[in-house]
Amino acid sequence: MREQPIASADRFLESFYPAAEVLKAHIEKGNVIRIITHNDADGVAAGGILSQLLRRMGARFKTTCEKRLDEEMVKAVGAEDPPLVLFADMGGAYLDLLEEHLSGSDVVVLDHHLPVDVEPSNIIHINPLLHDLDGARGISGAGVSYLFAKTIDEGNADLSPLGIVGALADQQDKGEKKSLLGLNKLIEADAKKLGLLDTNFDLIFYGYETRPIGKAFAYTTTPFIPGLSGREDRCLAFLKEAGIELKNEGRWRALRDLSDEEKRSLFSALTKHMVYEGCEAEAVHDLVGTIYTLKGEEAWTPMRDGREYASLLNACARMGRPSLGLCICMGDRNEALKEAEGTLDDYRRNIGKYLDWVREGDRIQEREHIYTLNADVDIDERIIGVVASILLSTGILKSFKPIVASANADGDLIKISARASEEMADKGLDLGDVMMKASEQCEGRGGGHDIAAGAFLPGGRREDFLGLVDRIVGEQVKA
Ligand SMILES: [Mn+2]
Measured between alpha carbons, how far is residue 297 from residues 135, 161, 329, 402, 439 in Å?
Answer: 28, 10, 12, 37, 42
Question: For the segment 312-328, what is each residue's pLDDT rounded down to a tens digit?
Answer: 999 999 888 999 999 99
User: Which residues have C-beta within 8 Å of that of residue 194, sequence separation ≥ 6?
Assistant: 157, 158, 160
Is residue 46 scored above 90 in pLDDT?
yes
User: What is the 195 CA–ligand 1 centroid distance (Å)?
Assistant: 25
Question: For the segment 210-239, what is each residue's pLDDT rounded down to a tens digit?
Answer: 789 999 999 888 778 888 988 899 999 999
What pLDDT, on a 0 to 100 scale, did the predictor assign at position 6? 65
User: What is the 110 CA–ligand 1 centroid distance (Å)?
Assistant: 10
User: What is the 41 CA–ligand 1 centroid distance (Å)?
Assistant: 8
User: What is the 113 CA–ligand 1 centroid distance (Å)?
Assistant: 7
Is residue 245 scored above 50 in pLDDT?
yes
What residue ranges do the domains of the chain occupy? 6-195, 200-355, 362-478
Under the banding of pLDDT at 50, 70 and 90, the label for residue 299 is: confident
Q: For a pLDDT cut of 70, what percent of the chain falls above it?
A: 99
What pLDDT, on a 0 to 100 scale, did the predictor assign at position 1? 43
Q: Which helix (H) or strand (E) holds 17?
A: helix 17-28
User: What is the 270 CA–ligand 1 centroid distance (Å)?
Assistant: 31
Is residue 391 scored above 60 in pLDDT?
yes
Query: What is the rounded average pLDDT of the residues 355-384?
Result: 93
Of 178 and 394, the one with more pLDDT: 178
For ligand 1, a single-atom ion, the residues with CB < 5 A are 42, 89, 140-141, 170
Is residue 479 scored above 80 in pLDDT?
no
User: What is the 90 CA–ligand 1 centroid distance (Å)?
Assistant: 8
What pLDDT, on a 0 to 100 scale, did the predictor assign at position 395? 82
User: What is the 188 CA–ligand 1 centroid distance (Å)?
Assistant: 17
Q: Which residues pair with 294 in a beta bridge?
A: 197
Question: For the segment 89-133, what is each residue's pLDDT rounded down to a tens digit?
Answer: 999 989 999 999 999 999 999 999 988 888 888 999 999 999 999
What pLDDT, on a 0 to 100 scale, did the predictor assign at position 219? 87
User: What is the 314 CA–ligand 1 centroid distance (Å)?
Assistant: 11
Q: Which helix (H) or strand (E) holds 478?
A: helix 462-478
Distance CA 320, CA 418 (A): 21
Q: What is the mean pLDDT of the chain?
A: 93
CATH of 6-195, one of 3.40.50.880, 3.90.1640.30, 3.30.70.2470, 3.90.700.10: 3.90.1640.30
User: What is the 52 CA–ligand 1 centroid distance (Å)?
Assistant: 19
Question: For the segment 424-439, what is each residue's pLDDT rounded down to a tens digit?
Answer: 999 999 999 999 999 9
Is residue 280 scored above 90 in pLDDT?
no
**Model pTM score:** 0.86
Is residue 330 scored above 70 in pLDDT?
yes
SS3 260: helix
User: Which residues have C-beta within 8 Å of that of residue 53, sequence separation ≥ 6?
Assistant: 145, 148, 149, 152, 156, 159
Is residue 25 scored above 90 in pLDDT?
yes
User: What is the 294 CA–ligand 1 centroid distance (Å)?
Assistant: 20
Is residue 7 scored above 80 in pLDDT?
no
Is residue 474 scored above 50 in pLDDT?
yes
What pLDDT, on a 0 to 100 scale, did the predictor assign at position 5? 56
User: What is the 140 CA–ligand 1 centroid distance (Å)?
Assistant: 5
What pLDDT, on a 0 to 100 scale, did the predictor assign at position 65? 96
Question: For the segment 125-183, what is each residue's pLDDT rounded down to a tens digit?
Answer: 999 999 999 998 999 999 999 999 999 999 999 999 999 999 999 999 999 999 999 99
User: What is the 256 CA–ligand 1 centroid distance (Å)?
Assistant: 31
What pLDDT, on a 0 to 100 scale, did the predictor assign at position 2? 47
Assess if CATH 3.30.450.40 describes domain 362-478: no
User: What is the 408 CA–ligand 1 centroid distance (Å)?
Assistant: 22
